[in-house]
Structure 1
């Protein structure tokens, strides 16, 4: 980015006005003015730009993301900002007046040769705009797209406005730039001169070689060294030719730029193959010919001579006899491929012919040519049929140049192709299909047909049959449209055809390992118990990160909590612990846990880009969804306590209740699931790859480079960055220097000076023995009461024990409510006992007062209790016994949970 002096110098060179400079400063200081959102066919990408030092958001991969990749690695582009403040589009009307409206461009760019706003659009969309009565986007005489209404405002400010079409961004070039982005970094090691000399020696005198051969060299050159030389332009490749990482066998590496630029001149001749096509030579004026490899044009054809204009403009005349001789000898060839119209017609007939048609044509052919019939076959027919088929064969020779094609049956063309029903009847059917069939009320098709029949009878029309009505629905509407109209968008998603692109664009699964990774959650179809007491714990949630290119599971986390920001941050931590890195692009769905601040901050800290797939479109995450299905069918459903029986609870017997059969605890399942991945999923050939995921990862890292300079250290700072916070985000320090995080108390002597202060807190769900709070000098580590319990245990043991403690603590609210109910019932009984005691005391005082009045001493005989007093005391004693029993039962359950 530019500093203040560099920005001032750039504005001075461009001779910008004060208003233009103020506009630039306002754009630089303003946040994005609009929130980008994903639709049904676009994916929002959060791009962590190294040049800008922030996250830049793009709504479309082919247009905006391609432009971001170009600007982020272009040396002439200084700054670019997404979703700048809105500007005006000024439209000129036919009456000479102007109208305007606010509009938010995609980017604001500061570059050497351009300062202003940029709008990114797809080329096909721009072409469709030309058909509108008053298009906003037009094409100038040089073929560039422009937006006159936005340019008027930009010119009034003194800046520029440009329209960037998707045709300006070659997808292969963008992919190669993305693959080499790690080697453009300043911390990437620079190859030595000796290594460069070994590369040039490997290329030999030719000055070029295939990238695959260079990567498989025996000179000790690593893939990182070779790709760094390409990034620094010590070696040269045609960036728009083929993907460097995915197709190295098709990429040529040149020693010098001059050799690469001139390769179009000398390389085709070196690799040329003999031309076996037949080209037609037509000696007519304007016809292009090739004379001994050089281009020429026919100017005039006379009776004895022909005049040709050579490529340099000179005229050359040749006798027609010499011209014909050179044509026959192949010295002069035509540039137009010969097309035989009869052969084209024959090919069309053969394309439409079925297997039965070909079999019937063979029978007819052998009948008219019995001498060609194989000895083991017999083909006979009447003489009349033979005469008919011979006539068809002669006609085939005339129309198609082949008598066999003339013998192919054309039964499919027979019959009346016109509609049998009248126009009014069809109109009635179409009206009821739109008004009844294609509605959310979704009446049965039989009911819709009944309404059609009733309407036809009233109008005196012939009612269609039920079969005809169903056929008409299929003719007018696709099954996908019918289901979406009757059941909703989500219901019709299964019938949509998968989006398949055959264009030359970026591969959807990347070109190398650790380029694209998918993160998603699933609830395991298995009942769990605690390890010590076998108390039921319910189902756990599995969070997985999978590499799109190799299909290898990079990281996974199992918790008893629902999907949250904690799961996302912990799976990233597990990936760094296992591999020392995370994928460059993380693909997630529209879940709230993926939109949190902590998750986005962590990805920006790691320099990773976030790509959000459209909501309710699971095919965009088909890789990870397929793995979830595989682990269910191949592993989870083979374990004791799986939930298959609960899928049909009314048919389930008590003896087959998974909650009663559960035996798996978290520790045992972790070990078994790790073995399932290592010994089966990673080791067996994947149907989409042809090799196992582990082998694909090994080969991919060898071809694309280890990229050791991009590894992330698994240290204290990284662990704190991947620790989640509490729902509140802060915790209050108590007088003894303790604080509470996620229902666990933590202590630190240095926290005494922060008493009664709310400090930002981070806790580790995988290790409840520690937590961190933010003090004045940084993060302060505190210890919990579980420190001695977790001491001396392995990392996996600590993780499993911490997960069980978390799950038990999560039930605190339920247990507290149960305790409160029991305590309230008990105290209510005590209140009744207190009332009885107060009544007894009052009665004793009354007796004493009566005794004094009557002259009776305290040692006299007391009157008996009344009936009401006895009932109250008996009810109090009974309620007290019931409350004591309930309280004792709840206390026993609480003790067992602990």
Structure 2
């Protein structure tokens, strides 16, 4: 089946180019009935039906490192597919969704057993799971997706299993196993530079389907303009037609009425994307177009000979002046000789006199080390973590974890002490030498050893620019959701003797293309699916749309069945960024840092660290001021978000609000339109469990009774309920085949409250949790005070003759001071956990 595999591989190399958007919905029952693929072998049909009925064979992304996991909603399949990598599997699914040659595709085919080879060339059996099962118009095939660089490494490392033929790759163990089943096996790699084409396909998926061909209201104007211009950029066409909306142009390109270079330019970059009425005119315009800046940049290292820096040119001019003055010196004769030798090689006098510099390497300089072997050997063992040093006649091996967590300066101090014990006859190396050898170690490994997975990810080398994903360029194309525990104490509740305080959580939904704050939610509760529900509702109510995709971390709130189900129901793509990688999520963190520095830093009760904290008297510190209650903090945070949207200038010299308005005028189809109706309210409510129905008072949940006149018609005594994430005085009860809104008595006053007051009422429901935390902390404080008092009594009753009065102790410290130090240390440890008594 080699020829068939290579033929299909060649066909899939152009995947997505014959796009037909939208595609009809695939019916898997045609495979079961035999209407589709009637000649399919029995084993192949069983394999395909197993994937259709049982779903993916494994959960993707659980053991990946540095990958963005995606849940891609497929219009042709009617459900979401799981992508393990943002740059490998996801482009395959997007192209399959657009290509008319592909009938259907499924992720993570059933596991099979293959016979491959280990690193020593011995045969070994191992499980194998394909990345995708693709159904074409002619056959079915399983697909393994790898990046081109990974395939080249595999061919070199394991030639028994991986082979390359005419630019196409094969995985022989899986190919032979599936050939026995009558299924083709293909290794697919995203084509180099294919990110632009994939991004344009995603844009076509987002266009409104009610317009096709020339049916858009602006299509006739665009076509008549191009009849005169023949070929022009999108911005020139918009100016000539006096319109701002690009939908008509994009629709005509999607339906092959107009033509654009989809592989070389992003359609959203309206100033550089060319559009023509025919392919010939487009090619002619591209060949005549000035592209020196775009394509003439060197990507490989360039020899520095003849390309001197400014200082070297100045030195060459100084030497040339000496030669022209014909000085009677040895240097002048040497310069003349350099000019003669350079002329033989075709160099000018200036080029001949430029100093020849050579980069220093480890092989340059002294070949024989100055330090003794025992010193260098111990230095190497210390840095590698394998440390042994003599203490009497015993040898002790240090814990590697303890050594690796030290800072460079602390590590040198410890090395100096240990080396003096290990080789007392030879001095340890100096600090610069120690730092130099320490820096030779892999920085990613050093960061991981010292600060765990997050430290290693922060220290790793940057990725190649060509391998990076394209950033969003349209509003509502992509947004991020993140949470931040504010560095401020707010008043939670006040009783006759104490004031309980807690730090609120700030949750934000932020548009990545414009940096616009789409939604903001504040509560005392830890991040949960209720917080996510509130953000989604606020965004839909304010903008009547949701982002096309939302990128989040892998917290439990974002991995909940509720959050994933809501996004899948509304066909929103969900991307999960890698765990403990500080290079992701910077957009939301930038807003949180702005809030810390520009908002919280000036509010009473904050504990934001600033550089001049030590220069502020305790009487003027923010902790000493009267606290804000949660209502006031919600108002302050909302004002800061509005200021960030309207007044903060981005890199393109406009505010986020202006960028959002201009983007929606240019791309009005961006985002997923959401209709906020009763069905939406129930769909975004959060499941709360089953509650017993009281036939006289309704559902007793928490502090309230929720009722509806139709509620008592239910035959069941226990009903499933859903909580409203915004209004605490309404729940939805499932009765028969409908959801009934059940109200509590305070709902009347809630409906007339202001927006800020409604947010405060919802956030106030999390105060009891803060009170429990405060009471627990107070119990710890009382216990510590009791320990401190008992310690005082013990010290006062202790016989003075047995007291340690050696010089190692501070002679000025009293017995009471010692007990205070003991008690205060515990108070400092437990007094500010989660919630405190102010």
TM-score by shorter chain over 0.5: yes
Give the corresponding residue for 1:777: 737
- Going from structure 1 to structure 2, the CA distance change for 1:659 and 1:536 (only over 3 Å counts) comes to farther
- Contact kept, 8 Å, 2:26 with 2:77, in 1: the verdict is no
Give 1:744's match in structure 2, choosing from 679, 704, 707.
704
Give the corresponding residue for 1:421: 370
Structure showing greater relative contact order (alpha-carbon pairs closer than 8 Å, 6 or more residues apart): 2
Q: Give the Cα–Cα distance (whole angstroms) in 2 for the partners of residues 423 and 110 of structure 1.
A: 68
- Going from structure 1 to structure 2, the CA distance change for 1:135 and 1:552 (only over 3 Å counts) comes to farther
Q: Give the Cα–Cα distance (whole angstroms) in 1 for the partners of residues 600 and 122 of structure 2.
A: 71
Give the corresponding residue for 2:185: 161
- What is the CA distance between 1:524 and its match in structure 2? 1.6
**5 Å matches for 1:521-670?**
521-529=483-491, 536-644=500-608, 655=619, 658=622, 661-670=625-634
Other structure's SS at 1:441 match: helix
- Contact kept, 8 Å, 2:145 with 2:187, in 1: the verdict is yes
Q: Give the Cα–Cα distance (whole angstroms) in 2 for the partners of residues 269 and 555 of structure 1.
A: 46
- Contact kept, 8 Å, 2:383 with 2:438, in 1: the verdict is no
Worse-matched range after superposition: 80-89 or 791-800: 791-800
Give the corresponding residue for 1:441: 402
- Going from structure 1 to structure 2, the CA distance change for 1:532 and 1:787 (only over 3 Å counts) comes to farther
- Going from structure 1 to structure 2, the CA distance change for 1:654 and 1:389 (only over 3 Å counts) comes to closer
- What is the CA distance between 1:818 and its match in structure 2? 12
Cα displacement string for residues 615-663 of structure 1 (whole angstroms, at most 9, x for unaligned residues): 1112211111111111110111112222237999999987457565244
Q: Give the Cα–Cα distance (whole angstroms) in 2 for the partners of residues 815 and 420 of structure 1.
A: 65
Q: Would you say 1:703 and 2:669 are equivalent positions?
A: no
Q: Give the Cα–Cα distance (whole angstroms) in 1 for the partners of residues 656 and 557 of structure 2.
A: 28
- What is the CA distance between 1:736 and its match in structure 2? 1.7
Give 2:255's match in structure 1, choosing from 220, 232, 236.
232
**5 Å matches for 1:801-880?**
801-808=761-768, 811=771
State the aligned residue count.
722
Q: Give the Cα–Cα distance (whole angstroms) in 1 for the partners of residues 339 and 778 of structure 2.
A: 94
**5 Å matches for 1:150-229?**
150-167=174-191, 170-183=194-207, 186=209, 191-192=214-215, 195-205=218-228, 207-218=230-241, 220=243, 222-229=245-252
Q: Give the Cα–Cα distance (whole angstroms) in 2 for the partners of residues 732 and 190 of structure 1.
A: 57
The structure having more radius of gyration, on CA atoms, is 1
- Contact kept, 8 Å, 1:528 with 1:665, in 2: the verdict is yes
Give the corresponding residue for 1:430: 380
- Going from structure 1 to structure 2, the CA distance change for 1:736 and 1:756 (only over 3 Å counts) comes to farther
Q: Give the Cα–Cα distance (whole angstroms) in 2 for the partners of residues 629 and 157 of structure 1.
A: 57
- What is the CA distance between 1:83 and its match in structure 2? 1.4
Q: Give the Cα–Cα distance (whole angstroms) in 1 for the partners of residues 67 and 198 of structure 2.
A: 18
Worse-matched range after superposition: 208-217 or 423-432: 423-432
Q: Give the Cα–Cα distance (whole angstroms) in 1 for the partners of residues 123 and 639 of structure 2.
A: 71
Give the corresponding residue for 2:274: 252
- Contact kept, 8 Å, 1:531 with 1:666, in 2: the verdict is no
Give 2:646's match in structure 1, choosing from 675, 678, 682.
682
- Going from structure 1 to structure 2, the CA distance change for 1:795 and 1:771 (only over 3 Å counts) comes to farther
- Going from structure 1 to structure 2, the CA distance change for 1:617 and 1:817 (only over 3 Å counts) comes to closer
Q: Give the Cα–Cα distance (whole angstroms) in 2 for the partners of residues 269 and 518 of structure 1.
A: 40
Q: Give the Cα–Cα distance (whole angstroms) in 2 for the partners of residues 606 and 456 of structure 1.
A: 69
- Going from structure 1 to structure 2, the CA distance change for 1:197 and 1:430 (only over 3 Å counts) comes to same
Give 1:27's match in structure 2, choosing from 42, 51, 56.
51
- TM-score (norm: length of structure 2): 0.77
Give the corresponding residue for 1:874: none
Give the corresponding residue for 1:129: 154
Q: Give the Cα–Cα distance (whole angstroms) in 2 for the partners of residues 655 and 464 of structure 1.
A: 50
- What is the CA distance between 1:211 and its match in structure 2? 1.6
CA RMSD across the alignment: 3.9
Give the corresponding residue for 1:482: 446
- Going from structure 1 to structure 2, the CA distance change for 1:148 and 1:168 (only over 3 Å counts) comes to farther
Give the corresponding residue for 1:296: none
Q: Which runs of 5+ in 2 are unaligned?
A: 1-24, 293-301, 388-398, 780-838
- Contact kept, 8 Å, 1:646 with 1:652, in 2: the verdict is no
- Contact kept, 8 Å, 2:479 with 2:512, in 1: the verdict is yes
- Contact kept, 8 Å, 2:221 with 2:241, in 1: the verdict is no
Give the corresponding residue for 1:800: 760
- What is the CA distance between 1:777 and its match in structure 2? 2.9
- Going from structure 1 to structure 2, the CA distance change for 1:678 and 1:412 (only over 3 Å counts) comes to same
Q: Give the Cα–Cα distance (whole angstroms) in 1 for the partners of residues 86 and 35 of structure 2.
A: 32
- Contact kept, 8 Å, 2:475 with 2:670, in 1: the verdict is no
- Contact kept, 8 Å, 1:764 with 1:770, in 2: the verdict is yes
- Going from structure 1 to structure 2, the CA distance change for 1:419 and 1:653 (only over 3 Å counts) comes to same
- Going from structure 1 to structure 2, the CA distance change for 1:626 and 1:270 (only over 3 Å counts) comes to closer
- What is the CA distance between 1:514 and its match in structure 2? 0.9
Q: Give the Cα–Cα distance (whole angstroms) in 2 for the partners of residues 653 and 197 of structure 1.
A: 72
- What is the CA distance between 1:562 and its match in structure 2? 1.2
